[in-house]
Amino acid sequence: MIDTRATGSRMTRRRLFGSVFFTGAGLALCFLVLVGKPATQPTQLPEPRRPLVEIIVAEPSEHNIAVRTQGTVEPVRRVVLVAQVSGKVETVSDRFLDGRFFKAGDILLELEKADHQFTIARAEAQEAAAAQRVAEERGRNLQAQREWRDLGTSEANDLFLRKPQLRAAEASLVAAKADVAAAKLALERTTVRAPFDGRLEKKSADLGQFVAPGTALAHVYATDRVEIHLPISDSQLALLELPLFETTLEAYPEVVLSARFGGERWQWQGQIARVEASIDRDSRVTFAIAEVSDPFVNSGSRRPPLTPGLFVEASISGKPIQQAVELPATALRGDNTVLWVNENSRLERLSVELLRREQDRVWVRGVAAGVQIVAEQSSLLASGSAIEVTAMRPTSG
């Protein structure tokens, strides 16, 4: 008879031994996998490529920075010719037309003279009558003096000697002569003459028109000089040497005017003549006034005249600025800083003083000689970035 209890016990021991064996084998295998694997090697990442930049070596020097502004040409003298006496326009000159030139003293128009000639005749008649009364009173005065002497008295009464009557007659004669002079002056004023060498801008009267005293006849302006009022901002004033006190004309800077006319660009030479007496209350700018002499004189070239109303651009000579550096406009950042390359080929930011900005270049101050400035800004460039210099741009110094 088989002992079932012994058989079950042997099977239990075999299962237990198998479980222990497989568990130990699994642990040994895990140990070999974890301990026996090769060590991890660190990955060597490539160095990022440095941005390529062009640089400018700063060379501070003296610069005469021109100030650019603009304005409209206006005549220095512009007047309205008015009638000083009344009358009908009787004759007009060929020069009494819009745009015509004239010389000082030229007759532009004449008013009817008949009424004024009649006034002169009446005034001369009054003068003659007054002269007659003076002569009569002088004769009566002499006669009164003789009669008073015959009375044997040294003191005579003024009324008896007709002295008041004589003074009244003499005063009437003076007034009559003044009336004659006034009548002749009124007759002379019927002829309207040009007050200076100039040009007729606009006429307001014509042949056959009746005009009263004070009626506008024409707008005229002198052609010897024109002027341009040029606005100067506060920052531009720092670049100019504008004497703000009364001084000689030679102390003011020169100015070059340019404008397009007839499809071409022309230039004229002028000079700042004065500064307006007050600062503009709205814009807070100072107006410098440039003058050009003889703008209508034909020099033999095709250059047009500086006609009033022409819009011109102006370049005013600036005063010498020390320790200034000229850079391309691309080198300056919006916050008035530049990037420069240090000895480790890394960028650093430098604040500068902006003196003048033009479309493609700027002038700054506050950069030492020899500093390598980045010529063109980029979104890839920032303070602390490592860069590589590719080229060196020239600078005008």
**Weakest-pLDDT range from 37-41, 46-50, 133-137, 293-297:** 37-41
Q: Identify the band that residue 1 occupies on the pLDDT scale cut at 50, 70 and 90.
A: very low
pLDDT of 25 reads 67
For residue 375, CA distances in Å to 188, 323, 390 come to 74, 19, 11
pLDDT of 170 reads 85
Instruction: Name the token pair of 212.
Output: 């009263």
Mean of the pLDDT values across residues 379-391?
79
What CATH number should be reported for the domain whose range is 67-73+224-317?
2.40.30.170
Q: Identify the band that residue 4 occupies on the pLDDT scale cut at 50, 70 and 90.
A: low
pLDDT digits (tens, 9 = 90+) for 235-260: 888 888 887 776 655 678 999 999 99
pLDDT of 23 reads 73
Instruction: Name the token pair of 69.
Output: 């502004």
pLDDT of 394 reads 64
Q: Identify the band that residue 297 occupies on the pLDDT scale cut at 50, 70 and 90.
A: confident
Residue 148: CB atoms within 10 A of its CB come to: 16
Instruction: Name the token pair of 91.
Output: 């004759």
**H-assigned helices in 232-311:** 234-237
Top pLDDT among 179 and 381 is at: 179
Domain range list for the chain: 52-65+321-393, 67-73+224-317, 78-111+193-222, 114-188
CATH number 1.10.10.10 given to 78-111+193-222: no
pLDDT of 345 reads 84
As a whole-number percent, the residues of the chain with pLDDT over 70 amount to: 82
215 within 8 A of 98, measured Cβ to Cβ: no
State yes or no: pLDDT of 44 exceeds 90: no
Q: Identify the band that residue 5 occupies on the pLDDT scale cut at 50, 70 and 90.
A: low
Instruction: Name the token pair of 191.
Output: 């002829």
Nearest to 331 by CA among 286, 262, 395: 395
pLDDT of 70 reads 95
pLDDT digits (tens, 9 = 90+) for 92-101: 999 999 999 9
pLDDT of 397 reads 47
State yes or no: pLDDT of 226 exceeds 80: yes
CATH number 2.40.420.20 given to 52-65+321-393: yes
pLDDT of 47 reads 61
| Average pLDDT in the chain | 84
Residue the block writes with tokens 């090697």:
41
pLDDT of 85 reads 95
State yes or no: pLDDT of 61 exceeds 60: yes
Largest interatomic CA distance in the chain: 217
